Amino acid sequence: MSSQTYSISDLSRELDITTRAIRFYEEQGLLSPERRGLERIYTARDKVTLKLILRGKRIGFSLAECRELIGLYDPSGGNFKQLNSMLAKIAERRAQLEQQMLDIQQMHLELDTAQERCEHALAATQDSPNATP
């Protein structure tokens, strides 16, 4: 029984990413397809690796973090290290997002204050006898 293989265009279509992105991940050492002449032949494991990279990017992981998580994969099925590391990174990312939300809320308050001051100053200048329309 032969395992499923994919061309770069197959993966590009299936995962909705560019062939250039796939080649970039290959250059970064995250993928290592077989070669048949100039053609790249990707395995089911390469496809899973790409899915993990894309998922990691969506939740804000760096490429280095994705590489670390992929490197922890244990094909024998004991992925405790990988899963624990993933949970730690998720908690870290969640904490970063919560801090960003607080920062954004604070910035909104500061913008509200600045806007209110500008509107009051503008109203005061329009009420002044020397105001020009």
Return d(Cα 17, Cα 19) in angstroms, integer. 7
Is there a contact between 32 and 22 (Cβ–Cβ < 8 Å)? Answer: no
Structurally, the chain folds into a number of domains equal to: 1
CATH number, domain containing residue 64? 1.10.1660.10
45 falls within a domain: yes
In a domain, 83, yes or no: no
Sign of the dihedral defined by the CA atoms of residues 74, 67, 52, 87, in that order: positive
Would you say residue 4 lies in a domain? yes
63 within a domain of the structure (yes/no): yes
Ramachandran quadrant class, 81 (left: phi over 0; alpha: psi -120 to 50; beta: rest): alpha
- Structure confidence at residue 130 as a pLDDT band (50, 70, 90): low
What phi and psi, each to the nearest 5 degrees, are found at residue 16? 55, 50
> Is 104 a domain residue?
no
User: In Å, how far from its chain's centre is CA 112?
Assistant: 31
Question: Predicted confidence band at 1 (pLDDT cuts at 50, 70, 90)?
Answer: very low
Q: Which domain covers residue 59, as residue numbers?
A: 1-71
pLDDT at residue 26 is higher than 80? yes
Task: Find, among 25, 110, 112, the residue nearest to 70 by Cα.
Answer: 25
Full-model pTM? 0.71
pLDDT at 129 over 80: no
Tell me what pLDDT residue 128 has. 73
pLDDT tens readout for residues 61-107: 999 999 998 888 776 777 888 889 999 999 999 999 999 999 999 99
Residue 116 covered by a domain: no
Asked if the model's pLDDT at residue 133 lies above 60, the reply is no
Lookup: tokens for 108: 């909104």
- 99 within some domain: no
Percent of the chain surpassing pLDDT 70 = 94
Cα 118 from Cα 78, distance rounded (Å)? 61
Joined together, the tokens standing for residue 123 give 């109203």
As a whole number, the mean pLDDT across the chain is: 90
- Domain contains 132: no
